[in-house]
Each structure stands twice: as C-alpha cells, then as structure tokens.
C-alpha cells in the first residue's frame, strides 16, 4: 500500500499508478487507469499518451531538465519528482523551478527515497504531495510538515526572508 500525504492529509486511496522501467528498460503500462510515466516516455510518444484512456502524469528523474516539460505543464494535473537516493537534493531544485519559473499549479509529488526528515523542506520549495518510503510511518511524516515554525530564508511558500518579515 502506498503512503501518500497530500496537502497535509494522508490519502486513503490514490488512483495514480507509478510506471517505472524494468531491468531491461521496458515500460509495462497498464491498459486502464491513471498513470505516472517517465519524462522520456512522455516526450517520445506524445500521441500515445494523449489518446490513452485515463489520466497521464509525468515523473522526472533527478537528472532530467524541467524545461523539457514546460510546454506540457498546462495539460498535466500531477508532476512527480523522483528522489532516487536520500542524499540527492536535485529534486528540490526541480520542484522550485516547476513552481516558480514554469508556474506549475497542479499536484507536485515527491516520490522515491522520501523520508519524514525531507517533508518540511520539500513543502517549502513547492511540493504538496509526498509518497513516503515503504516501511516508514506516515503519521510521523505528516507531523514533520510542522517541524519548524519559522525560516530564515525565502521559500516558495514564504517569499520574504525572515529579516524582511520581521522588520518593524
């Protein structure tokens, strides 16, 4: 069972199916339902995804360039960013670029190696949904969204740095 937190609440059910390439690099896409496909598949076969029954979303790997998806963002209700390793922070930059530079207003979901320690910071750069790694307590992760009450730096959620917010 997936552990998804969206907009500060645990989802009881999630219709999206994440599609990842197998060991040979092949995609096994279900015939029906809502799917999240890799950016490379989205770019390679746009007609396939446009004519498919069910909704289609896209996920970006940490090495993908969000500009490649910019022209399609208006058609997508969900974009996911894969954190393949706990220590790889490139997904934070991708999330902030999608929100601030490309104006993506839909669901921005963090997937992969996502732990509760990340959630507060992911939320600050614009993510509003999180797929918590298997084996981790989703309730603890949900509580992590409120770990800090204030921040020094400007973020997507709070565009003014602390010194400007508290100037009197």
Q: Please state the domain extents for the chain.
A: 3-164
Instruction: Indicate the fold that domain 3-164 takes in CATH.
Output: TIM Barrel (3.20.20)
Please, what is the Cα angle at 101 between 62 and 44, to 5 degrees? 50
Q: What average pLDDT score do residues 114-121 get?
A: 90
From residue 21, alpha-carbon distances to 14, 113, 138, 148 in Å are 21, 17, 26, 37
pLDDT at res. 74:
95
- Hey, what's the torsion of the CAs at 8, 9, 10, 14, to 10 degrees? -90
End-to-end CA distance of the chain: 49
pLDDT at res. 1:
59
Q: 116: pLDDT confidence band, cut at 50, 70 and 90?
A: confident
pLDDT tens column, 22-45: 999 899 999 889 999 999 999 999
Q: What average pLDDT score do residues 110-117 get?
A: 91
pLDDT at res. 110:
97
Instruction: Give me the residue label for tokens 């997937």.
Output: 111
HSE, side-chain direction, 13 A CA sphere, residue 133: 15
- Torsion region of 101: left, alpha or beta (phi above 0 gives left; psi -120 to 50 gives alpha): alpha
Q: 144: pLDDT confidence band, cut at 50, 70 and 90?
A: confident
The pLDDT of residue 168 is above 70: no
Alpha-carbon distance 81 to 115, whole Å?
14
HSE, side-chain direction, 13 A CA sphere, residue 6: 14
Q: 130: pLDDT confidence band, cut at 50, 70 and 90?
A: very high
Q: 109: pLDDT confidence band, cut at 50, 70 and 90?
A: very high
pLDDT at res. 142:
87
pLDDT tens column, 47-104: 999 899 999 999 999 999 999 999 999 999 999 999 998 889 999 999 999 999 999 9
pLDDT at res. 82:
97
């Amino acid at each position: 069972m997936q552990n998804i937190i969206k907009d500060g609440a645990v989802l009881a059910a999630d219709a999206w199916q994440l599609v990842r390439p197998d060991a040979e690099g092949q995609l096994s896409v279900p015939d029906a339902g809502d799917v999240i496909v890799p950016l490379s598949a989205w770019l390679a076969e746009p007609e396939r995804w446009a004519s498919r029954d069910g909704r289609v979303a896209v996920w970006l790997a940490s090495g993908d360039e969000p500009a490649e998806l910019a022209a399609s963002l208006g058609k997508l209700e969900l974009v996911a960013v894969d954190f393949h390793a706990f220590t790889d922070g490139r997904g934070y930059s991708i999330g902030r670029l999608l929100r601030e530079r490309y104006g993506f207003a839909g669901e921005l979901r963090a997937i992969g190696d996502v732990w509760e320690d990340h959630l507060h910071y992911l939320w600050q750069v614009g993510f509003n949904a999180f797929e918590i790694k298997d084996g981790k307590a989703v309730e603890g992760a949900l509580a992590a969204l409120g770990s800090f009450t204030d921040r020094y730096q400007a973020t997507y959620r709070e565009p003014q740095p602390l010194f400007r917010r508290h100037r009197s």
